[in-house]
Amino acid sequence: MLSKQPLQFYSEPLPGVEVGELQGKLIVVEGPDAVGRSTQVARLKAWLEQQGHAVLDTGMGRSALASKGIAQAKEGHTLGPVTMTLFYATDFADRLENEIIPALRAGFVVITDRYIFSLMARGIARGEDSLWLEKVAGFALVPHAVYYLRAEVPTLISRTVMGRGQFDFWESGMDMRFGPDMYESFVRYQARVIRALDRMSMRYGFVTVDAAKPADQIYRELQRHIAGHFAPRKRPAKKAK
């Protein structure tokens, strides 16, 4: 499942979808937990709308079909790694078919907080087969750009502690118990996720952004990159005096 032209399917196309009808832009913001993706997606959405673009923002775990089931399964802390992958793949498939593709048909800019790459990285971190994960996610569309907010584990720890003040069970990989406590498990699990995303970076053509920088600096860098995907707007001609 190597990188292809934007808005082609990586592998198996969804039935009834003509990629030539998809006139919008698909922008992905990727990265590990607590790296600041959601903040940047919200700011980019507001900026793109100010530029006159219709924007759909979406993200992992938000589908009408699977989001409640994922939340309920996580509450019991009994969700196995393969079941988790298939749950999130269902979530993605539902959003792709019912949100992302209709928005692209209508010419929207779709900006998504994580994509199939987080699904695969999480699976790899939990010991799943990478080729199987690629096949599971093969119905995804190739984005116009993937911006990989990359930070080392100490930065993620700092932002987790300063942000919510505690570690999350699932973001710490405690279902697999990578360490004796939540802190150690977070360190080891997130390091695995980062290594998996690093390996995908060249394969899928990620644009890597140093997420250890201040949020405003990251935002300006993303703006600069994303602006290059749109033709400059023509200024109205001045009336002759």
Q: Is residue 120 assigned to a domain? A: yes
Mean pLDDT of the chain: 93
Give the Cα separation of 176 and 182 in Å (integer).
11
pLDDT category at 225 given cuts 50, 70, 90 is very high
| Confidence (pLDDT) at 42 | 97
Question: Pairing between strand 145-150 and 207-210?
Answer: parallel
Residue 40 lies in a domain: yes
127 located within any domain: yes
- Total domains in the fold of the chain: 1
What would the pLDDT profile of 43-89 be if each residue is shown by its tens digit?
999 999 999 999 999 999 999 999 999 988 888 767 789 999 999 99
Residues belonging to the chain? 241
Global pTM value:
0.92
* Tens-place pLDDT, residues 3-47: 678 999 999 889 999 999 999 999 999 999 999 999 999 999 999
Stretch 91-111: mean pLDDT, rounded?
Answer: 97
pLDDT number for residue 232: 73
* Range(s) of the domain holding residue 72: 22-227
**CATH assignment of the domain containing 80:** 3.40.50.300
Q: Provide the β-strand partners of residue 28.
A: 112, 146
Q: Name residue 113's beta-bridge partners.
A: 29, 59
Answer yes or no: is 165 within a domain: yes
Which pair of tokens denotes residue 99? 């949100």
CA–centroid distance for 108 within its chain: 17
Range name among 70-79, 92-101, 162-171 with the lowest pLDDT average: 70-79
pLDDT surpasses 70 at 237: no
pLDDT at 57: 97
12 in any annotated domain: no
Closest CA to 44 of 110, 99, 106: 110
The DSSP symbol for 9 reads B
Calpha distance 26→96 (Å, rounded): 11
Is the pLDDT reported for residue 235 higher than 70? no
- The whole-angstrom separation of Cα 160 and Cα 180 is 19
Beta pairing, strands 145-150 & 109-113: unpaired
Q: Say if CB 54 and CB 23 are below 8 A apart.
A: no
Q: What is the DSSP string of 192-227?
A: HHHHHHHHHHHHHT-EEEETTS-HHHHHHHHHHHHH
The C-alpha atoms of residue 22 and residue 24 are separated, in whole angstroms, by 6
CA 83 and chain centroid, separation: 20
The 3-class SS string of 115-158 reads CHHHHHHHHHHCCCCHHHHHHHCCCCECCCEEEEEECCHHHHHH
3-state secondary structure of 46: helix
Residue 2: predicted pLDDT? 58
CA–CA separation, 233 and 241 (whole Å):
24
Which has the closest alpha carbon to 47: 216, 210, 206? 216
Q: Is residue 17 part of a domain?
A: no
Domain contains 232: no
Rounded CA separation 151/35 (Å): 7
